[in-house]
Structure 1
Amino acid sequence: MELEFPVMPACLTKAEEKIMDYIFGHTGHFLFASIGQLSEQLGISDATISRFARHVGCKDFKELKAVVMEQSTIGEPAIKMAGTLNKEKNFCVESWIMQQQICLKHTMEQLDSVEFQRAAEEIVTARRIFIHGKNASGSMAQLLFYRLRRLGIQVSLLPAGGTEIIEGLVHADNNDLVVMFSFSKISNEGRLILDYQKSAGYHTLAFTSRLYVPKEQMANVNLYVYRGEEKEYHSMSAPAAIVDALTLVVSEKIGAKSVDKLREIHVLKRQYTNI
């Protein structure tokens, strides 16, 4: 890995060379380490590490980690996690919750209320609903599946990846809706869903974190959610909030039918409490 610092010193002390070598050889460990942990690992004082940061043109240790993180080639999930943790000296749950409030605020500011109502209408009028999400997005697909199924809506989950998705998607037609979670970029499976739509005729609803989506990657209805900056750990707070809000609007549109189904579920649960 090659790194460029704001200042490249002509010479380094033995301790600084040791720090530099550790950054190059153990980048992931460096990004997740506190200055105290790095000091213990290398047998070098906190003050020496701080001086090294200033020597290479950084204001402090935190800025040094930011410079390394910006140029790092380690796995993207690790980079995002490090980016979030490095915002503060130690992780603080209160600060994290405040950050989720920011995600919700950005989502609220950018969410198109007309598009949101269209999404609810698509769900209500569809004969069947197919939901796709992979990796972390799979959790939101599961949540929407659970919420809609409780309302008595005919809904199924598409396989997360590979050609197996075709076995589920082939049953969708022009009376159906395919919901896809494709936040920061569209997956190969997402491209398949949009491409097959042209011949199958089903409608599509996409959850996205992109304010600009190329025309060829747009669904019939697109709902924006903010999940954090590019190199931060991406939160699911806003997507979960929009899924729940969508569920409530759909329930309202369905009316008494949704209440009857929930009541039936409640009765059956009481009847079979031993399961």
Structure 2
Amino acid sequence: MDSFSRFTQSVSTGWTPFADKVSKGFTQYKQMANESLGSGGDVTELPTDYLALERRYEAVRQSTVVLVKLAKAYTAPPTHFDMESLQTQFSSLTSRIGGKQAEGASTSAAAAAAAAPKTTQHEIARASLDLSEKVGLEEPLGAALFKFGSIEEKVGAGKLAQDAAVQAKFVAPMSDTVESGIALAQNARKQVQAARLSLDAAKSAFKSARPDRADAARRDVEAAEDHFLTIIEEAMRLMKAIVESPEPLRCLSQFVAAQLAFHKEAAELLGDLAPEIEEIHVTQEALYRHDNK
């Protein structure tokens, strides 16, 4: 009998927190339902400074989430290339060239399709270098494609370095902000709404309380008010930390620096290549016009 008594006492002790949580949740849900039906009584207004801070915070939160998403897409490997289609085009081209060249080109195309593309520039480089061999380096177009492919390979390497920098110095820290500071602030905002519902439910219960329950109901209102104010202060502290943090600006500065370094290097490489391609073009055009007089 003593064992059974201890068991039931243990169950009762362990059950109470869960039961309290369910009871509070039901009270908040009931209050929300009453308010939606217009029978919830007066709704406690949130402080104006809280609402003003919440608007600022929400703008920063949305900006952070959107920028992280865009930065991830910006640094992601290209997925728009249809490697099977490219392989078919290579096979079709080399079959017309014929012989051992075709067999070698087909093997090259298969290897290209098997390798995952690193950047768009790497894809352009690989295609240009392969086609330069098919056309022949002694041909003007083949020579130009070889030069172009070689430079695009270097530009692709620069793009990889930029992407790594953006991932490390922008995506990673900004994602941490979303998953830590912003997540905490979001949870605090939910708690503010829950505390507000509990307070209004306590006020409503106090208004309809029997005389013998009036004092207890009043104490419930006071406790709910204290909790409501405490939760608001905590939520404001967390939101203010997000709004005033210099971290997004530091990360954005790093993003810009990574882009600047990449585009500067790419501009130098392409700046050296452009006159070479133009020279080949001018020479070929002169020969073409001379032969077709």
| Structure richer in helix, relative to its length | 2
TM-score by length of 2: 0.22
Bigger RCO (CA 8 Å, 6+ sep): 2
Larger of the two Rg values belongs to structure:
2
